[in-house]
Amino acid sequence: MTSSYPDEVRMAGMEEDPRRLHHANRLYAVLSAVNKAMARKTGRQELLQEICRILVEVGRFRMAWFGIPDGEGWVVPQAIFGDTMGYLASARVSVRDIPQGKGPTGTSLRENRPLICNNIPANPYMIPWREVAARNEFNSSACFPVELPTGTVAGLTLYSSESDFFSEDEEKLLLDIAADIGYALEFCDSEERRSLAEAKLRRKRQALARTRDIARVGGWSADLLTGQSFNSPEASRINGLPTYPIPWERFLEIVLPEDLPRFHRAWDLSMVTGKACDLELRIKVEGEIKWVHNVAEFESDETGRHIRIVGIIQDVTEQKLAQEAAEAANRAKGRFLANMSHELRTPMNGVLGMIQLAMQGELDKEQRECLELALTSGFWMTSSTCPE
């Protein structure tokens, strides 16, 4: 498929033109500089801008720009270099089959093939841009399609002040550059996705770490094959053990002896059932007794052998002390009520006995009603405040 307009013919004898060697050397220098830029730059926008700069400053093109079609078919510049007179501000380009889409850029992107215009003033397809091209001294232009990782076809468009500037050799080298740009952009996109994924993972880890700090929850793990255990900073603050690898037995040394049997029972049960080991126990850290809540799960290899245990540890000393204080208060309340019951029951029994004795005598109706009311109230008081 030809890359030129049908009515354009390359200059006769172009192959013998002495500019050929000069153009080739210049383009090889461009190719080398572009490849170096691709090795250095990892950001998509930064890379495109650098390639446009190289094409103008090293390749001696008048202008270079990289465009991507938008949802309405207009080609939107992503990177520009050499547009000193605002050419793209007044020269709209479309990929649709309309007058603004019949230039090298629109046609190249629409048909996904390179297209060269070696004589802008004489080419009827360039009428929409002929006047502004003349002001910028553009006499030749070419566009080379670049397939993006998304499948969209973008375009690298170049301009020269010379007519018949783009030779076959020039076209081949520029096609190589366009292909390299496609590979580089694919790499940039994968790097950007990786960077975004890593940043997202960092944010999640930071949020999780912050949540653990707020909740005062530490993480720990133990390699059951090597016997080494590891503490997070918060776990180290709680249990007093270092964050660097230490023998697993060091944790058992800080557990209070009277809590060790309960710990071993929970541990063995978890190994057998595969359920989480969840228990509260006491540890001694720098002479201080702490209550800690431990939750841990075993990890196994493909054979079912336990190879690792991962868990969390939380200092619940304050909760335990509050619980013990509440229980002590309940016990004190119970003792108080028991004492009150005894203190009230003894005199009330005498009062009730005397009322019953008085009711055995001669009483008029009003007196009997008063004594019955007193007796009922006395029984109610003893049953509510002095239960059996």
**What are the tens digits of pLDDT across the range 135-178?**
999 999 999 999 887 777 889 999 999 998 888 878 888 888 88
Question: Which pLDDT belongs to residue 10?
Answer: 45
215-242 residues labelled b (16+ CB within 10 A) or e (exposed) = eebbbbbbebeeeebbbbebbbbbbbbe
Q: Which residue has the higher pLDDT, 210 or 302?
A: 302
Q: Which residue has the higher pLDDT, 74 or 172?
A: 74
For the entire predicted model, the pTM comes to: 0.52
> What is the spatial distance between Cα 226 and Cα 51, in angstroms, rounded to a whole number?
53
pLDDT at 15 over 90: no
Task: Give percent above pLDDT 70 in the chain.
Answer: 85
Averaged pLDDT for residues 54-64: 92
Q: Reduced to 3 states, what is the DSSP secondary structure of residue 364?
A: coil
Question: Which pLDDT belongs to residue 113?
Answer: 93
Band of the pLDDT at 11, cuts 50, 70, 90?
very low
Q: Which residue has the higher pLDDT, 126 or 27?
A: 126
Q: How does pLDDT run across 366-387, given as a tens digit for each residue?
A: 888 787 887 787 777 666 555 5
Question: Which pLDDT belongs to residue 140?
Answer: 95
Q: Mean pLDDT check: name the lowest of 227-231, 288-292, 365-369.
A: 365-369
Residues pairing with 290 in the sheet: 283
Question: Which pLDDT belongs to residue 81?
Answer: 95
Q: Mean pLDDT check: name the lowest of 242-246, 322-326, 347-351.
A: 347-351
42-73 residues labelled b (16+ CB within 10 A) or e (exposed) = eebeebbbbbbbbbbebbbbbbbbbbbbeeeb
> What is the spatial distance between Cα 356 and Cα 151, in angstroms, rounded to a whole number?
104
Question: Which pLDDT belongs to residue 20?
Answer: 65
Answer yes or no: are the C-beta atoms of 82 and 64 closer than 8 Å: yes
Averaged pLDDT for residues 35-58: 86
